[in-house]
Amino acid sequence: MAHRVALNWEGKMKFQAQTPGGTLSLDTSPAVGGEGNGLRPKPLMLVSLGGCTAMDVAALMRKMRVDGQVASFRVEVQGELTDEHPKHYRWVRVDYYFQGKEMNQSLLTKAVRLSVDRYCGVIYMFRQFAEFEYEIHFDETSE
C-alpha cells in the first residue's frame, strides 16, 4: 500500500500538506524563519507514533470487549532529539493512561503489549533509530 502526500509552499517556511485524511499547515518558529503558524515536522512524528499505538489499543480494547470498562484513555509521547545534525529522536517514551472502575488490567496490558510488540508500524520504525520505552498507568479511583 502506497501513501502519497503533497506539500505546497505558502511563503517563508509555511507549507500546506495534503494528506489522505485531510489538510494541515506546517511552519516553524520565527527564530528559524517561520511565523509559528503551523505544526512542526518532528513533533508530528511523535503524533504519528501516538496515533498509531492509540488506535491499535482502541481497536484491541473493542475486540477484547473491555472498551466499556474504560471511562477515559489517553496516550502521551515524549522524545529527545540529538544535539548534532541531522537532529533526530534518540529516545522516545510512550505513557498509556487508563481510567475507569473495575478495569481488566491484564487485558488492557495485553492490548498495549500487542501494539508495542507486533502491530504499531510507527513504533517499529522508531526502534530503528531511537531507544524506545513505555509505561502503563491505571486509575480506578474515579470516573
- Note whether 31 and 89 are same-domain residues: no
Through-space distance between the first and last CA atoms of the chain, rounded to whole angstroms: 40
- Note whether 46 and 33 are same-domain residues: no
Q: How many domains does the chain have?
A: 2
- Model pTM? 0.93
| Strand 131-139 versus strand 89-99 pairing type | parallel
Name the residue type at position 107: L
Measured distance CA(53)–CA(66) in Å, rounded? 17
- Note whether 59 and 129 are same-domain residues: yes
The CATH number for 121's domain is 3.30.300.20
141: pLDDT confidence band, cut at 50, 70 and 90? confident
pLDDT, one tens digit per residue, over 9-42 is 999 999 999 999 999 999 999 999 999 999 999 9
- Note whether 128 and 103 are same-domain residues: yes
- Do residues 121 and 98 make contact, with C-beta atoms less than 8 angstroms apart? no
Measured distance CA(72)–CA(17) in Å, rounded? 31
- Note whether 71 and 3 are same-domain residues: no
- Note whether 57 and 84 are same-domain residues: yes
